[in-house]
Structure 1
Amino acid sequence: MNTVAKGPEFVVSRAEGVWLWDQYGDRYLDGTASLWYCNVGHGRTEIADAVHRQISTLDAYTVYGDFANAPAIELSERLAAHAPVDDPRVILTCGGGESIDTAAKLARGYWAALGQPERQHLISRTGGYHGLNGFGTSIIGMDRFREGYGRLVEETSVVPYDSAEALEAEILRVGAHRVAAFFAEPVIGAGGVFLPPEGYFAEISRICRKYGVLFIVDSVICGFARMGNWFGIERFGVSPDMIVFAKGVSSGYLPLGGVVVDGRVADPFWNQEGNPFLHGTTYAGHPTACAAAMANMDILEREDLFTVSREVERHLDSALRGLESHPLVAEVRSGVGVMGAVELTEEALTERGITTAEVFAETRARGVIVRPVPKALLVSPPLVVTWEQIDHLTSTLAGALDAVMERH
């Protein structure tokens, strides 16, 4: 807030495809699909038309209790049909943070319904980002997002993102009889684009089954073709107990998220009396948001952006690898999904005093938007990006790195 107060705001006035225009009419390549979500690109009239049709018929109405609406039912059935989860049920929310809180409460509630209320402990991973609501802030794998807020949700812990052995050791330390769930992103996104080691998910899935711990996949960033499939986790051949989704489900055209729940986890609430899940949000199952999501999913299927994204993934990986030889670059992380990270060297960050915010500002001044995190610049363009646009993105970032290096 202090930074924004000191200078002019960057006002996005319109967008089309992979391009943005500011209040002065200057054009920028959207190298981050806004906040990781605009998978099908900006300005899709099909989605706008679907929104108009729905909002003209039924704008919104609650789905509490036995209330429902046709778009929410249709979307839930469509999501369930694609989910790598046994006998899936769907809970709709308004976004990723709400979905994480929903999944965490459901996990604890599930064990309480089974007569094991002591199973409340939640385990997550270093670098993991799970939104900034109550539970999300409490299990996030980056300390800076928790500092200054006092006591948050307790009975949580974090393990190294790349070690299945560390997860098992933590379950044993806490006591399996006290652990409710383990949260993991298929690829860590906002925490810096960290890819899982070979065989990691198969092993953590085995560990969770061994100790009865619910395995919750956070696919908010990785879903809806960003990793070449519907929910990202399919890439690793495992079936979780819950999948949290948002962002790409509607490509951000309207706020929407949710949780896909394994039938076994849903059973105590669906099929046994006395276990109401007393949780929900005002706009969950919003019919107009659901209509936007279905139009978005139509585009994903019609244009086969699942196959396209695998091709984009390879070209983006190749283009980003060209930055590995730059003197300011320590590492490039990419190659699984349409996302990547260019991490700066410790020498650049400490001895030279270069910040990723400075590189970000220089890149934006040259007409490309990337996302700065403390040590790296992240990219995650819309899936409709062309090879030429990818090359423009990476060459512009290289030029920005050169310009910053010259100043230091």
Structure 2
Amino acid sequence: MNAVQAGPKFVVTEASGVWLWDDQGDRYLDGTASLWYCNVGHGRREIADAIHSQLLRLEAYTVYGDFANRPALELSERLADRAPVDDPRVMLTCGGGESIETAAKLARKYWASRGHPERVHLISRTGGYHGLHGIGTGVIGMERFRSGYGPMVEATSVVAHDSVAELEAEIHRIGPENVAAFFAEPVIGAGGVYAPPDGYFERVAELCRRHGILFISDSVICGFGRLGNWFGIERFGVRPDMIVFAKGVSSGYLPLGGVVVSGEVAAPFWDQPGNTLLHGTTYAGHPTCCAAALANMDILERENLLEVSLYVERDLDRALRGLESHPAVAEVRSGTGVMGAVQLTTEAEEAGISAPAVFREARRRGVILRAIPGAVVMSPPLIITTEQIEHLVATLRSSLDAVSERAG
């Protein structure tokens, strides 16, 4: 807040496709799809029309109890049909943070309903981002988001994002009989764009099955084409007990999220009378948000963007690899999904070549990227062209050069 209060604000006034315009009339390539979510690109008239039509018919109404609406029912059916979850049920929310809260509470409540109230421990991974609500902050894999707030939710721990052995050791340290669930992003997004090692998720899924631990895929960033499929986790050939989703489900046109829940996890509440899950949010199942998501999914399917994204992934990876020889670059992480990270060397950072400085320089040159500690990341809309990718990476290179030159 202090850093931005005095200076001019970057005011976005309109957007179309992969482009943004500010209040000065300058154009920018949106290299991050806003906050990882605008998968089908900006300004889609079809989604706007669906929102308008739904507002005129039924703008909003609760879905508590036996209340429902057609868009929520249709969306839930379409999501369930596409999810790699056994006998799926869908719980809708307003976004990723709410969905993480829902999945975590449901995991603990499931075990209590099965006669194991001691199974409350939640394990997550370093670098994992799971939103900033209460439980999400408690399981996030980046300490900077947790410090300064006092005690977080109890019974959580974090293990190395790339080590099945460390996960297994932590399970045994806690006691498998005390662990409720394990949270993992298919590819770590906001924590630095880290793809899993070969075979990682197959071994994780087997480990969780062996100990009866619920495996929860946080697919908020990775879903709806970002990894070339609907929920991201399909890429690794496993079937989680729950999938958390948001962002790309509506391409951000309206806030929406949810959890796909296996029939086994839903059974205590679904099949047994009197076992009420006392959890929900005011705007869950919001018909206008669901109408936006349905139109968004129509676009993803009609334009074959799940398959197209695999070609975009290849082109982005190829272009970013050209930065590996840059003296300020330590590592390029790309090639699994339409996302990438350019890690700066320690020497570059010590010399003043920081990720925020590169971000500011790229924006001055007309490309929006995102700075995280030590790296610059990107996650463009799935509709980005090869030429636009080349423009993005060329601008990143020239920005690295300019910041390096100023640093001396």
Partner of 2:280: 280
Q: Deviation at 1:195?
A: 0.7
Aligned counterparts of 2:271 and 2:208: Cα–Cα separation in 1: 24
Q: Does 1:156 align with 2:173?
A: no
Distance 1:19 1:238 in 2: 36
2:226 counterpart of 1:208: no
In structure 2, the partner of 1:341 is 341
Q: How does 1:184-223 map to 2 (within 5 A)?
A: 184-223=184-223
Corresponding residue number in structure 2 for 1:89: 89
- Name segments (4+ residues, structure 1) moved above 3 Å: none
Residue number in structure 2 paired with 1:381? 380
1-structure distance, mates of 2:121, 2:352 = 40
1:405 paired residue number: 404
Shift, 1:272, TM fit: 1.0
Q: Indicate the residue corresponding to 1:178 in structure 2.
A: 178
Q: Aligned-residue CA RMSD in angstroms?
A: 0.5
Q: Deviations over 1:115-142 (max 9, x none)?
A: 1000000000000000000011000000
| Pairs within 5 Å for 1:116-135 | 116-135=116-135
Cα distance in structure 1, aligned partners of 2:71 and 2:113: 31
Q: Distance in 1 between matches of 2:75 and 2:84?
A: 16
Indicate the SS of the match to 1:123: strand
1:360 aligns with 2:385: no
**Deviation for aligned residue 1:319:** 0.3
State the Cα distance separating 1:338 from its structure 2 match: 0.1
For 2:328, the equivalent position in structure 1 comes to: 328
Could you say what secondary structure the match of 2:208 adopts? helix
Q: SS at the partner of 1:92?
A: strand
Partners of 1:36 and 1:275 in 2: how far apart? 37
Q: Deviations over 1:190-219 (max 9, x none)?
A: 000001000000000000000000000000
3-state SS of 2:390 partner: helix
Match of 1:101 in 2: 101
Task: Name 1:241's counterpart in structure 2.
Answer: 241
1:2-32: CA deviation from partner (whole Å, max 9, x where unpaired): 1111211100000000000000000000000
- For this pair of structures, how many residues does the alignment match? 407
- Give the match's secondary structure for 2:392: helix
Secondary structure at 2:376's aligned position in 1? strand
Aligned AA for 2:223?
Answer: G
Counterpart Cα distance in 2 of 1:54 and 1:107: 34
Q: Distance in 2 between matches of 1:353 and 1:15?
A: 33
Give the corresponding residue for 2:290: 290
The aligned counterpart of 2:392 is 393
* Match of residue 145 from structure 1: 145
Distance 1:214 1:117 in 2: 14
1:397 Cα deviation from its structure 2 partner: 0.4
SS in 2 for 1:394: helix
Alpha-carbon offset, residue 160 of structure 1: 0.2
- For residue 275 of structure 1, report the CA deviation from its aligned partner: 1.7
- Kindly report which structure 2 residues correspond to 1:19-34, keeping only aligned pairs within 5 A, or say none: 19-34=19-34
Q: Report % sequence identity.
A: 73
Asked if 1:15 corresponds to 2:53, the answer is no
Q: Which residue identity is paired with 1:172? A: H
1:165 aligns with 2:193: no
Q: What is the DSSP-based 3-state SS (H/G/I as helix, E as strand, rest coil) of the residue aligned with 1:10?
A: coil
Q: Determine the structure 2 residue equivalent to 1:56.
A: 56
Residues 25-46 of structure 1, C-alpha deviation per residue, up to 9 Å, x if partnerless? 0000000000000000000000
Q: CA deviation at 1:273?
A: 2.3
Q: Secondary structure at the match of 1:80?
A: helix
Read off the aligned partner of 1:139 and give its amino acid letter: V
Show the counterpart of 1:316: 316
Structure 1 residue 354: Cα displacement: 2.4
1:274-326 Cα deviation digits (max 9, x unpaired): 32111111000000000000000000000000110000000000000011110
Q: SS at 1:122's partner residue?
A: strand
Q: State the secondary structure of the residue aligned to 1:21.
A: strand
The amino acid that maps onto 2:271 is N
Q: What secondary structure does 1:333 align onto?
A: strand
What's the secondary structure of 1:39's corresponding residue?
coil
Q: Distance in 2 between matches of 1:212 and 1:51?
A: 42
The yes-or-no answer on 1:304 pairing with 2:304 is yes
Match of 2:402, SS state, is: helix
SS of 1:332 mapped into structure 2: strand
| Structure 1 residues not aligned, in runs of 5+ | none
- Measured in 1, the distance between the counterparts of 2:343 and 2:189 equals 14
Structure 1: distance between partners of 2:269 and 2:320: 47
Using the TM superposition, give the Cα deviation of residue 365 of structure 1 relative to its aligned residue in structure 2, in angstroms.
Answer: 0.1
SS in 2 for 1:90: strand
Q: Distance in 2 between matches of 1:371 and 1:9?
A: 17
The separation in 1 between residues aligned to 2:138 and 2:353, in whole angstroms, is 30
Structure 2: gaps (5+ residues): none
So what's the TM-score if we normalise by structure 1? 0.99
In the other structure, the counterpart of 1:44 is 44
Q: Letter of the aligned partner of 2:54 in structure 1?
A: Q
1:373 alignment partner AA: I
